[in-house]
Structure 1
Amino acid sequence: MSSPSRSFEPEPMVRGGSAALGKNVTVKGQIFAREDLTIDGEVEGTVECHEHRLTIGPNARVQAGLKAREIIIHGSIQGNVDATDKIDIKKEAKLVGDIKTSRIVIEDGAYFKGSIDISKTSAPKAGGQPQAPAGTAQPTASPTAAGTAATPAR
């Protein structure tokens, strides 16, 4: 008898077709999708669906670099994640790896270990001063020579 699995309803389609890798599917290598893709099995390698949504289902165990327009994570990922639009890490998800995106949602209860690089995808306004990308820290204090305390910038 198989072990119980979590209930999962794929995200509604935005446009075009979709493809799915079920919970009993294992893929080792590269996956290139020209449509939305849902993975609920095991993947080791790379997954790219640049102009589409990639959904990692609750039963998924992924050891791969991921690139897509939008990435929704319910399952487990070990690898770097790059989305041109948005990454959504659900409460039951586990992600160990670095994130690069322009928007992110991490639900309470989700596990994440890594770094986040948030950068705007739109061009700066004409005539305006260039702004630091969102997520870039600006120094407000400098450490003392002894390295024991920080002095606020004035």
Structure 2
Amino acid sequence: MAKNFEPENKLPNMIGPGTKIKGDIETNGDIKIDGSIEGNIISKGKVLVGQNGTVTGEVKCTNCDIYGTFDGRLTVSELLSLKASSKLHGDIQTSKLSIEPGAIFTGTCKMDEKVTPPAANANIKK
């Protein structure tokens, strides 16, 4: 008896260099941003802001790595990693925080073991 084969999509959503988006994004998977986003992002996976990526808005996600620029409010239910090339201006709330030497962080940080994971259709303040 033959089985239906449905390949799992392990590729992350990608916003490429030179791409500019104004609006909100919701995803159940990971997202990599090498372009520019002005809006809000909700991800049940990892948000990765590449070295040339910029995000202005509010982000709620499970994990986050920032190599580029972020300006806004960031809520991460597990681990937030600010890499050496990152520039973060805003407020963060996370369970765990890693900051490499050279990273720039200006704002406030609230660490709590029980940060609520992002949910689909979660309300983001506008």
Which category of TM-score, normalised to the shorter sequence, fits these structures?
Answer: 0.7 to 0.9
Q: 1:46 aligns with which of 34, 40, 43?
A: 40
CA–CA separation in structure 1 for the residues paired with 2:111 and 2:23:
28
- Percent identical among aligned pairs is 29
Distance in 2 separating the partners of 1:46 and 1:121? 22
Other structure's SS at 1:20 match: strand
The C-alpha deviation readout for 1:64-108, integer Å capped at 9, x for no partner, is: 111100010000011011100010000000000001000000111
The answer to whether 1:78 aligns with 2:66 is: no
Structure 1 Cα separation of the partners of residues 52 and 10 of structure 2: 25
Alignment of 1:26-105 (within 5 A): 26-49=20-43, 51-105=44-98
Higher Cα Rg: structure 1 or 2? 1
- How big is the shift at 1:17? 3.9
| Matched residue count | 107
TM-score (norm 1): 0.67
Unaligned runs of 5+ in 1: 1-14, 123-154
Q: Secondary structure at the match of 1:92?
A: coil
Structure with the higher fraction of residues in strand conformation: 2
Greater relative contact order, per chain length (Cα 8 Å cut-off, separation 6+)? 2
Unaligned regions of 5+ residues in structure 2, if any?
A: 1-8, 116-126
